[in-house]
Amino acid sequence: MQANLEHVVDKVDSPSYSESEPELGDTASAQEPEFEPMGILQEKDATPEKRPGDVAGKIMALAGLGVFTIYSWALVLSNDPVSMKWFALHPTLQSLGVLLFGLGILVLQPTSMNQPKAKARGFAFHQSLILFCGVPALVIGTLAIIRQKFDHESEHFTTWHGTLGIIAVSWLVLQIVLGGGSVWNKGRLFGSNPKRIYKYHRASGYLLFPLFLFVIYLGGGWSKWTSNVGSKPLVIIAYVVGPMAALVGVLSRARCVILSLHGPFA
pLDDT at 185: 74
Task: Return the domain boundaries, the chain.
Answer: 54-252
Q: For residue 156, what pLDDT band results from cuts at 50, 70 and 90?
A: confident
Helices (H), ranges, 109-159: 116-127, 135-151
**Which of 210, 26, 253, 19 has its CA nearest to residue 122?**
253
Question: Does residue 186 or residue 155 have the better pLDDT?
Answer: 155
pLDDT on residue 147: 95
Query: Is 40's pLDDT higher than 70?
Result: no
Give kind and range of the element (H or E) at residue 253: helix 242-253
**Rounded Cα–Cα distance for residues 175 and 234 (Å):** 33
Rounded to two decimals, what is the model's pTM? 0.79
Q: What is the pLDDT of residue 32?
A: 39
What's the rounded Cα separation, in Å, for the pair 101 and 107?
A: 10
pLDDT digits (tens, 9 = 90+) for 243-253: 999 999 999 99
Cβ proximity of 91 and 72 under 8 Å: yes
For the cut 70, the answer to whether the pLDDT of residue 72 exceeds it is yes
The larger pLDDT score, comparing residue 258 to residue 137, is at 137
DSSP summary character for residue 90? H
Please give the DSSP secondary-structure letter assigned to residue 35. Answer: B
Segment 69-80 shows an average pLDDT of: 97
* Residue bearing the bigger pLDDT, 61 or 47: 61
Q: How confident is the model at residue 47 (pLDDT cuts 50, 70, 90)?
A: low
Rounded CA gap, 1 and 184, in Å? 9
Q: Which residues neighbour 246 within 8 Å (Cβ) at sequence distance 6 or greater? A: 60, 61, 64, 65, 68, 102, 213
Q: 111 to each of 5, 47, 106, how far by Cα in Å? A: 13, 8, 10
Host H or E run for residue 10: helix 2-13
pLDDT tens-digit series, residues 190-237:
766 777 778 888 899 999 999 999 999 999 999 999 999 999 999 999
CB of 249 closer than 8 Å to CB of 64 = yes
- The number of beta carbons lying within 10 Å of the beta carbon of residue 41 is 17
* Percentage of the residues of the chain whose pLDDT score is greater than 70: 73
Query: Given this model, what pLDDT does residue 49 score?
Result: 65
82-102 confidence digits (pLDDT tens): 999 999 999 999 999 999 999
CATH tag for 54-252 (out of 1.20.120.1770, 1.10.150.20, 2.10.10.90, 1.10.1740.110):
1.20.120.1770
Distance in angstroms (rounded) separating the CA atoms of residues 43 and 56:
27
7 in Cβ contact with 26 (< 8 Å): yes
Helix (H) or strand (E) holding 159: none
What is the structure's pLDDT at 113? Answer: 63
